[in-house]
Chain A
């Protein structure tokens, strides 16, 4: 069995209650940090651990904490980004639902490290029952003296607030999240200034993903170096992967970074292979935003090396032959999946979720969706394919926030790897527009 950091006790009955969680070693990190460590020492451990942001971008968390401005007399805030809405990603939901105290313990330790006296957990609006679970857990922790004034007699105060969002994908972008948290429309802000300088209520703010923060109790207990020893290279620690699609065993799995994609996909401990009687066709490795990979590039990189579940190995070869680990939404497609239809579906999502603030994303996502809809329904023409590539290029990098890039990458990569399928849709409009029709031509199936 691989090492588990986050999900070790997740199946213990009653782990969502304070008593059971405490019995299994819970809140020891709070005791250790508040009684024996200074806040800078906690930050130092986070830096040593090399833990990278688990929300998608993979930016080292310790470094992000290091950027936090610390002017006198201005409060600092920690905001936990629990607005997980990336299609194909459901790990934070699972974590908060099953073991809420882990996040709360992580929030206490991290807030202490950053010197924040009021911290927020911004939860996606659809997850109302998770919000109730979290609020109940916070009440329990407060009753036991782990939250509130003068925690464990250390003189450190912390108030933890759970804020439901309105259910917008864009509010997972950190500055849009802060706008929404302040009570305004969730439009991403122009950067600079970055949240580390001017964030929530114009004060220095750190925004971290649920999974990143949940790693902190273990790091405090066992030390940053022990965490850095797990994993491979600059991808340290473990990662939750939300596996879905045409596999035998969909679900949330905790893996050590550096596990090979082949083992993750085919071993019975994890996904259990592509569903019986079918072949692997394509893979989206890190949530809908990352480039899609065709079968021959999934287990091996373009150089013939084994592809590993790590930030570096998945992005090997750049966007030409690689992808990204992203948020860990592992979506597997077998040969019954139509790539054009899938790309249209992703595009429809981004069109619907674009905030409408900057013009390339507002107009471009809608345009791409309409063109893809046309191709899928048998009304496309050959120049539409190049048009799509051109639109995606014009959106990418020219928008305020990364939603534009996220909308452009799946389309560009689908055309890069599955152009045949787009061409077939255009040359065979009648067959292609039948429900469930899939291109059966030259494909590299594994």
Chain B
């Protein structure tokens, strides 16, 4: 029997047509465009809370708001409000404006501002710096100055189990870790308490998470609120060297990234895809205990985006284009030497001219001193 393929839906995203399956969200359609054409990566809406491997995530940070200029081919009215692209499903003939609409970009700028209101600017001492989604988001869409003059909210640091530390002050309440704890692990130990900007990520009554997969909350955290205690303050990510590796693990897939400083394994994380999402979660013993090269079978250097700061100082010969800008610069400054001047050969003229030049030089230095 032939498999019945669902009818594809055609939508227009920032003027680019793309065909996707029914039920796809606008965000996934945009990612499809970018996956097909590298140069279009800039039009994908940013996601701070949405995480594809975690069902029900998304819709909270409002960073991915886009404008739907035409709801569908049947009902061409525009949607009255900006819609979150991560949870809005596409309709046949939908026209979406993201980077082409100034209102969307303006709103996004304000979302950065809102998220940074209560986020400490301690990037210089934060372990997440360099692989922080909020840093990228603020760099791409935010303004250089803040208008916020008031005090920021602060919290005490809390240890969640022996290996994870929660620094709630940095949290942007994306709820990703809550969904992870809810869905990857079987017990609901990890939730949100309090309301509004006083809400706190919490394991109820500070009960430590004792689950084999609890460490994954570190990887899903878009900021440095949840950090690996075996790695805290050990190294900056851009000074470490990531290598894809795997091991035989009976609990998880064993596929991980091992981060080196010299010959020393300083941390282990799960593998992330282009969109910074972990698709195969790893267990705590792989993450926190296997800190020797002999525990792992290395596969080769992890592919890191050229735009990422992690790739700094790690040149890959195949990616480097021969620099030709020096030659170009030389070409623009090239001047023909004027050969029409007569060569002076007799010593008397040379002496005379040198004395004259000397006087000029002395005069100039006198002027500058005064």
Contacts and interface: CB of A to CB of B under 8 A. Distances in A.
A363 B117 contact: yes
A387 interface: yes
Interface residues of B, number: 33
Contacts of B59: 190, 358, 400
B72 interface: no
B150 A352 contact: no
Contacts of A357: 60, 173, 175
A370 B148 CA distance: 10
Given A363-B117, A367-B117, A397-B81, A353 B62 contact: no
B152 to A, nearest CB: 10
- Give the interface SS of chain A, mostly helix, strand, loop or mixed: helix
Interface string A348-370: 00011111111110111111001
A44 to B, nearest CB: 27
B197 interface: yes
Contacts of A394: 107, 110, 113-114
Interface string A186-213: 0000100000000000000000000000
A441 to B, nearest CB: 27
B191 interface: yes
Given A359-B114, A398-B65, A351 B196 contact: yes
- Give the interface SS of chain B, mostly helix, strand, loop or mixed: loop
Contacts of B115: 359, 363
Contacts of B63: 359
Contact of B191 (A185, A355, A356): A185
A170 B195 CA distance: 10
B253 interface: no
A192 to B, nearest CB: 8
Nearest to B197: A366
Interface string A159-176: 000000000101000000
B252 interface: no
Given A190-B59, A190-B87, A362 B196 contact: yes
Interface string B90-133: 00000000000000000100110111011000000000000000
Contacts of A364: 114
Contacts of A356: 173, 192, 194-199
B45 interface: no
B81 A398 contact: yes
A110 to B, nearest CB: 29
Given A394-B107, A398-B82, A359 B60 contact: yes
A394 B107 CA distance: 7
Contacts of B191: 185
B84 interface: yes
B118 A363 contact: yes
A397 B110 CA distance: 13
Contacts of B173: 356-357, 359, 362
Interface string A306-317: 000000000000
Nearest to A394: B110
A404 to B, nearest CB: 10
B270 interface: no
A168 B195 CA distance: 10
B82 A397 contact: yes
B196 A398 contact: no
B49 to A, nearest CB: 9
Interface centre among A170, A356, A362, A394 (most CB of B within 10 A): A362
A356 B148 CA distance: 19
A399 interface: yes
Interface centre among B114, B192, B198 (most CB of A within 10 A): B114
B120 to A, nearest CB: 14
B177 interface: no
A398 to B, nearest CB: 5
Interface in B167-196: 172-173, 175, 191-192, 194-196
B119 to A, nearest CB: 9
A201 B65 CA distance: 28
B145 interface: no
Contacts of B194: 356
Nearest to A398: B62
B26 interface: no
Given A367-B148, A370-B150, A397-B81, A359 B199 contact: no
Which 8 pairs, one residue from A and one from B, show the smallest C-beta to C-beta distance? Answer: A356-B199, A394-B110, A354-B196, A363-B114, A190-B59, A370-B150, A356-B196, A363-B117
19 contacts: A185-B191, A190-B59, A190-B87, A354-B195, A355-B195, A355-B196, A355-B199, A356-B192, A356-B196, A356-B198, A359-B60, A359-B173, A363-B115, A363-B197, A365-B196, A366-B118, A374-B150, A397-B82, A398-B107
Given A190-B84, A356-B194, A362-B197, 15 more contacts: A351-B196, A354-B196, A358-B61, A359-B61, A359-B111, A362-B114, A362-B199, A363-B197, A367-B114, A367-B117, A398-B62, A398-B65, A398-B81, A398-B82, A399-B62
